[in-house]
Amino acid sequence: MLDHTFCVAPMMDWTDRHDRMFLRLISKNALLYTEMVTSAALQHGDAAYLLKYHAAEHPVALQLGGSDPEQLSFAARLGEQAGYDEINLNVGCPSDRVQSGTFGACLMANPALVADCVAAMREAVDVPVTVKCRIGIDDQDDEPFLLRFVETVAAAGCKTFIIHARKAVLKGLSPKENREIPPLNYERVFSIKKQFPELCVVINGGIQSLELAQQLLGSVDGVMLGREAYQNPFVLHEVDQRFYSADPKHLTRKDYLTAYLPYLQEELESGTPLNHMTRHLLGLFKGVPGGKQFRRHLSENAHKKGAGVEVVTAALALVD
């Protein structure tokens, strides 16, 4: 079993390998998750490209999207062969595109199918298979519904549930609105832990500070930060000290970015455009004098042809 005390959420278009590599410099212990990768893409597309990551990212989990047990078992096997530490099944994404593929949050309405998927994936791999879900969907939004879902999927061997403490509204709300409009209900997640003490329960949704994360850990086994970890990555600066008993770090935002420069150079030499990496750095100096100038310089220059590390060092010089 992996340590799920502190996790960074899988976020489409955000938590790619470049972002995860930067976050890993700030926290050595947080469990990082990939963007969702569909099982169909791994079966029919460029699996090596989709599964690429840096060895320094460990511990890192692969999140899969899909609803075909056979296809998911194939994809999970590829993920294990690539070296991922965990395979996670997405049962929480509410987007129309995901629903049209019959996976994501709409799968909560069919816990028996989710159980079949988990069983097939567990049969295929030795690493942990986990599930990320919501507390409910549409009008199926009460504690008995969530209890039945967890009970059914746990019976298939899932030992870890990451639960976003909002229901998903499958018709009428965008994915962004689904992260903000449905009210948070932490108590329902706490109840799952109380009724299934043998399971590892990780809570997600609305966590914007380490103080709140520590408070929530009094009722669950782990916490997962999403947007805050991306839009303000320096929030991870004290994670190792607060959650993993590590010695305090006396590093600054500038220190972390300087430590990232060799990776930027290595990726540039392999053909990765600079802006594919610097877009993840825009929130690093949030609230710091010169932060706006830093963001503006990167935004205006990192996309230019031939842009190199010097663009980042010049932006860094604008920060106090």
How far is it, in rounded angstroms, from Cα 316 to Cα 30?
Answer: 26
Q: What are phi and psi of 202, to 5 degrees?
A: -115, 130
Q: Clarify whether 7 is annotated catalytic.
A: no
Q: Are 193 and 199 in contact (CB under 8 A)?
A: yes
Nearest to 166 by CA among 272, 92, 251: 92
Encode 241-299 in three state secondary structure: HHHHCCCCCCCCHHHHHHHHHHHHHHHHHCCCCHHHHHHHHCCCCCCCCCHHHHHHHHH
Q: Which residue pairs from 66-71 have beta carbons closer than 8 angstroms and sit at least 24 positions apart in sequence?
A: 66/38, 66/39, 66/40, 66/101, 66/103, 66/117, 67/101, 67/102, 67/103, 67/107, 67/113, 67/117, 68/39, 68/117, 69/113, 69/116, 69/117, 69/119, 69/120, 69/121, 70/120, 71/39, 71/40, 71/43
- Of the listed 7, 93, 106, 133, which one is catalytic? 93
Residues annotated catalytic, as ranges: 93
